[in-house]
Structure 1
Amino acid sequence: MKYSEQNHTFVVCAYKESPYLAACIESLLQQTKKSRILISTSTPNDLIKEIAGKYQLPVVVNTGKTSIADDWNYGCSKVETELFTIAHQDDIYEKNYLEETLKHLNRAEYPLIAFTDYGELRSGQACLENTLLKVKRLMLKPLTVERFWKSKWVRRRVLSFGDPICCPSVTFVKEALPEKIFTFGYRSDVDWQAWERISKMKGSFVYVKQPLMYHRIHEESETSKVLGDHARKQEDYEMFCKFWPSPIAKCLVKLYTLAEHSNES
């Protein structure tokens, strides 16, 4: 089928009281292709209620088990469209994010996910060039070739050296994926684990090489907290073991942790 904005929903995962939530939602409302917006939370509060009321957006509340994976899976379960994007509350999107994503999806053969290049927001300033971003673009270089989108071998080789895919840049094709995309037990690598699982499925990984969203780096972000408690190293080791023998996985973890410094505020 050919996808349009009518087939898409932004699921905004809101947690506690983020000062950036309104900016995230405004960037979604300013899209050149307008789609549905849904706020999902496991921590309902006055700020989320106020913002939802201001922009007249529906809110769904997860009252069951909560974790990053559970909260994301819950938000996904409330989507009624064929496509959805999990928008993290601290991040912002370029106006043509959805328009370009739809164009690329409609060129793909049986798409599974589509994802864009991205930049970072540091102290309110947009950053498109740093060591980490350059390395991730280099890792994704093979997927700039459209005929490789449907190659399991290519995408697993890409993922075998780390996770270059920015989770909030990803648009999911609901009917092509498992009911629960994310697996409980991971914090730092909950998204990498999902990509690894999906990479074994028949279909396309659609890469949009334009940087069309910005991931905010700050001390209160979940990524920064995970990096601070060193949970990433164990999770990274488990992920590398899905692609490599243990001795190689250990070496890759040592190299991969050098990139953690790029996430420090």
Structure 2
Amino acid sequence: MTDHCLRLLRQHRRLAELAAFPFNFDLDRAADGHAEPVRLASGASLEAVAGCDTGGTYFVCADGSLLYADSEGSAGTLGSSVDEALEILIGLPGWRDCLHLTPADGEAAILARVTGIEEEMREYYGIDAERAELRAALGLSDRSPVELLGMLHTALLRTEPDFLLLNAEEGCAYDLLDPHPRPPLWDSVRHEVPGDPADEPLSTWIRLAAEQGMTELARVALIRRLDEMSMDQSSLLRPGSRKELDLSPLPWLAEEFERLGDLPQAERARGLHARLQRGPAR
């Protein structure tokens, strides 16, 4: 896929206005930037290209994928290119109310949900003539809502590990935009263990992923674990204790981040370790 549609939107004001309303892909909002500084955990580039009326931002990633970050700390990929993502945004203008759906829900449930959302929209503004005009001008296919939902679902599942968005100042990760479960880490790691792989500590799979060259997969697991410890220190309680913390995972996390060359996250782990060693402020 290409950025053909983005070029057309930038060249033709009428098309840009249609994309902004009613489809909430507003090029003019890109100049405002996101609500906070952000970066990809991988270090790959991000370019803000549009925004929406709820404070969200659309970013083009280095490989051309379109990443959406909302103003409440969630993010997800919407397509492998701007063109693909715009097919979804224009074809499913209520896509944010469909994030819980999957192709497994079936055609009837998907169509019922999409129809209900669009009927509510039509009570306030038009979408049909605008959609037809924009699709024709951009050369986009007239796909069914079921097909578009499948495209959206596939795109969202690509968010991790390569497109994990971080708060650039604090280093913590954005939540996933969708609620869909992801496969456990051991599904990606080529290693046999006796018994249930879920019984193995997470550290086993993180180390194996890193050793097998799955750097971003290991990084995501490490960042998510560090975020969990930062937000909920009860996850560090020693077994059987209500107050005593086991801080040993934090130096380990710092070492693993260093192995990946991620010095900012290593420093974040060490900083949390130091704060918790000092105990609560008096």
TM over 0.5, shorter chain: no
- Of Structure 1 and Structure 2, the greater helix share is in 2
- Of Structure 1 and Structure 2, the greater strand share is in 1
Higher relative contact order, chain-length normalized (CA < 8 Å, sep 6+): 1
TM-score between both structures, scaled by the size of structure 2: 0.24
TM-score between both structures, scaled by the size of structure 1: 0.25
